[in-house]
Amino acid sequence: MTVPARLRATVPALLPATEADFPELLGPPGRRLLAQRGDDALLVQPLDDSFVPAGDRVRLPAPWPRRRGEWALAPDGTLAVFTGVHAVRAVEPSGVTRWEVRHGCWYGACREMHRSYEEYGDREDHRHPEGGSAAFSVDGKLVWAHVRGPLAVGELSPDVVDEWLVLDAGDGRVLARADAEAAAAGSFHLPHPCDPGQMGLSIGEGQDGAPLRWGRWDGRELSVAYLEGDLVLTGVSPSGGRLLTVTHQQDGLAVRDAGGAVVDGQEWDAGTAVPRHPAAEPENDEALPYWDYEGGFLDETTLIGSTVESDEEWGEGRHWIIGTADARTPVEVAYPVPVGSRPPTALGDGGWVTPSESGDALYVWELD
């Protein structure tokens, strides 16, 4: 059994695939942005609700190469935050640095407090550092940043490895900081879609684990929920009341409340909930499907997930729709055109996105 997908829009990339990362579609209806990180800048194109360009394209110069960090974009597209090896830097379209917060070096053996990228940019031992991430709150007034401690000024404790910061997006002031209680290889944030005072942080420690944190900032204090288990956060429901997670081992997909408890009956073991790929060897234990570390909420009660990584040895990767209010059985998505070999990204308004096979466009889908 399959469920057909209908193509809503094709959105051309802003840069050739050979010169940039995959494009990303950001923002809710009415505030859509197409963003793509090139070698020396982040390009941003406002879109209308039909995913057609609406307004001028914005170019935000990058302070260091794209292989040396991540980025976050303000909801109005007028400010970018770049996370690097030694600092978090906010950059305006003019190229002016609005603010910078320096922190410990993400190269594990380095204890220097670098003042600039040029200090280590050509050093062989800094070519493959770990890294953190950042995200804007839904109203654009806060930046949440996961950094390697300590900061250039002050320190939580000599034992703190990674810190989680709440920053004023306007001037970079550190409003709050907490021990992330992790030693990350990488991370990413997922904001609460309604409340600017809430944010999710999913941390990857390589083979060691996947800590998940949920933060709440009330304007005075930062409280952090350290969710139990090794979980990767893949989605937040449109209301913000539910989280979608995948276990570090990729065997379990689950809907949870903000405290981390699994919602009754909303947990799916990949080995039993999803059939093997049709081309997979029936008696081969390594042919069992497992969930990708991506997915999300199409709406408050409908999920999308995928088994692309485990399917690739046998053929085309599969995407799955799960209705949490009905039979709760994953149903494979049937596409009218090839959608490449990457997992889908949920938009929260009933739609989702996949890149084209060549990476030169994004396809926007909805259920037919």
pLDDT confidence bin for 148, thresholds 50/70/90: very high
What local confidence, expressed as pLDDT, does residue 84 receive?
Answer: 97
What local confidence, expressed as pLDDT, does residue 40 receive?
Answer: 96
> Taking 80 as the threshold, does the pLDDT of residue 305 lie above it?
yes
The amino acid at 121: G
Q: How far apart are CA 327 and CA 329, in angstroms?
A: 5
Reported pTM: 0.96
What local confidence, expressed as pLDDT, does residue 57 receive?
Answer: 97
CATH number attached to the domain at 62-227: 2.130.10.10
Sign of the alpha-carbon dihedral angle for 357, 343, 321, 73: negative
> Taking 90 as the threshold, does the pLDDT of residue 178 lie above it?
yes
> Taking 80 as the threshold, does the pLDDT of residue 313 lie above it?
yes
**Least confident window among 79-83, 136-140, 252-256, 357-361:** 357-361
**Alpha helices, H only, 282-338:** 308-311
What local confidence, expressed as pLDDT, does residue 341 receive?
Answer: 84
pLDDT tens, residue by residue, 31-64 = 999 999 999 999 999 999 999 999 999 999 999 9
Q: Which of 11, 55, 7, 60 has the alpha carbon at shortest distance from 31?
A: 55
* Mean pLDDT of the 112-117 span: 94
Q: When comparing pLDDT for 207 and 133, which is higher?
A: 133
What local confidence, expressed as pLDDT, does residue 285 receive?
Answer: 75
Q: Which of 241, 182, 238, 227 has the alpha carbon at shortest distance from 206?
A: 182
How far is residue 364 from each of residues 26, 31, 43, 86, measured CA to CA in Å?
Answer: 12, 16, 20, 36
303 three-state secondary structure: strand
> Taking 90 as the threshold, does the pLDDT of residue 357 lie above it?
no
Provide φ and ψ at 206, rounded to 5°.
65, -135
Q: How far apart are CA 162 and CA 147, in angstroms?
A: 6
Q: Which of 118, 68, 59, 110 has the alpha carbon at shortest distance from 88?
A: 68
* Mean pLDDT of the 264-283 span: 92
In angstroms and rounded to an integer, the radius of gyration of the C-alpha atoms of the chain is 20
Q: How far apart are CA 362 and CA 249, in angstroms?
A: 29
> Taking 90 as the threshold, does the pLDDT of residue 186 lie above it?
yes
What local confidence, expressed as pLDDT, does residue 284 receive?
Answer: 79
Buried b (16+ CB within 10 A) or exposed e, 29-44: eeebbbbbbbeebbbb
Q: How far apart are CA 90 and CA 63, in angstroms?
A: 9
pLDDT confidence bin for 159, thresholds 50/70/90: confident
Mean pLDDT score of the chain: 95
pLDDT tens, residue by residue, 223-259 = 999 999 999 999 999 999 999 999 999 999 999 998 8
pLDDT confidence bin for 359, thresholds 50/70/90: confident
Provide φ and ψ at 246, rounded to 5°.
-125, 135
Tokens of 219: 């304007």
pLDDT confidence bin for 283, thresholds 50/70/90: confident
Domain extents in the chain: 1-17+239-368, 62-227
